[in-house]
Amino acid sequence: MPIDNISGVAWSSVSGVSGKNASDIASLSDIAAPVVGGADISFDDITVSKGNQAVGPSTAFNVTLPTTAGSGDWVLVIFTSDDPTTSGSFQDPSGWTLINTTAWGNNTSDAHIKLWYKELDGTEGSSLSVFSSISVDRGIVSWTMVVSNIDTTNPISAVGTPAIAELTTIIAPSVSVPDDGTFICLNAFDGGDGEPFAYVNSSFTFTDGGEDESGAGSTAEVSSAWKYATITGGSSTNTTLITAQVGNGKVAGHFALKKA
C-alpha cells in the first residue's frame, strides 16, 4: 500500500522530504510513494486476438485477455468485425460495460466496432467469449489491454459519433473532452486489404496502438487500427482523417478516457 501521509500531512500536500522533491521520491522505508499530480494513462500488455471463423448464438469467438491482468485491473477491449448487418450482430459479454452504447457501423460500412471495459474481480479467466445473435462466418480483430492511471470510478470522459464511408478516406468527427486524459481514434474496414492506414490529425500527434487484419483465405475479413493521444480537459479531439489502401466500407470514431 502506498504512502498516505507523513506525520498527518497528506502526501499530495508534501513538497519534499529531507531536501528531496516529493516527485523524486519512489519510496520511504520500502513503502511506495503514490504518483503525484496524476500520471498519464498508459496501455500495458496489449493483446491481439484475430481470425476468420463461424460465430453464432452458441459458437463464440474467444478474445484473449492480457496475461498480466488480475483482480483490480481495469481492462479495455476494442472489438472490430466484418459484419454486414444494420445494427451489428455481436452480443455484449455479461459483466462488461459497453462504452459506445450501440455498435458503431451498419450495412454500408460492412464492419462494426464495439468497446467494452471491466475492472476485473479475478473470476474472468484467460479469455472472453463473444457470441453473435446469428450464425455466420465473421472476420474479427480485437485488442485487450490493461489501462493504468485511469479514473476507475468515472473512466469514460467522452464518446464521439462514428463516421461511415465507402471511399478510401473517412473523417472521424471531433468530440469535446471535459477531462484530462487520453483519447483513442479507431477504425474498422470491410476487408483485409485496407491496411496500412494513415491517420492525420492537425492538433495531435498519435501514438500507435495497434493495426492488424483478420487473415487471408476468407470472404469475411476485416482490417482495423487504433491510435491514441493525451488530451487536456476542455479541449477538442479535432477531426481525424483516416486513409485506407483501397476503397471499401469502413467505420471510424473517437472516445476519451479520464485519467486518475
In a domain, 232, yes or no: yes
Whether the per-residue pLDDT at 206 is higher than 50: the answer is: yes
In a domain, 7, yes or no: no
H helices, E strands: number in the chain = 0, 24
Give the span between the Cα atoms of 211 and 109, in whole angstroms. Answer: 18
Cis peptide before 173 (omega within 30 of 0): no
Q: ∠155-4-260 over CA atoms, to 5°?
A: 15
Question: Which pLDDT score, from 0 to 100, does residue 7 have?
Answer: 57
Question: Which pLDDT score, from 0 to 100, does residue 218 have?
Answer: 72
Please give the residue range of the domain that contains residue 226.
Answer: 42-258
| Tally of structural domains, the chain | 1
In a domain, 149, yes or no: yes
In a domain, 19, yes or no: no
Q: Is pLDDT larger for residue 34 or for residue 97?
A: 97
Give the span between the Cα atoms of 167 and 73, in whole angstroms. Answer: 39
Question: Which pLDDT score, from 0 to 100, does residue 13 have?
Answer: 45
In a domain, 168, yes or no: yes
Beta carbons within 10 angstroms of residue 75's beta carbon = 22
In a domain, 221, yes or no: yes
Contact 139, 249 (CB under 8 A): no
pLDDT band at 36 (very low <50, low <70, confident <90, very high): very low
Q: Using CB atoms within 10 Å of the CB of residue 48, give its burial: 0 to 12 exposed, 13 to 18 middle, 19+ buried.
A: middle
Q: Which residue type does 105 have?
A: G
In a domain, 16, yes or no: no
CA torsion 124-128-129-130 (nearest 10°) is 130
Reported as a single tens digit per residue, the pLDDT across 113-157 is 999 999 999 999 999 999 999 998 999 999 999 999 999 999 999
In a domain, 143, yes or no: yes
Q: Which of 259, 253, 260 is nearest to 99 (CA)?
A: 253
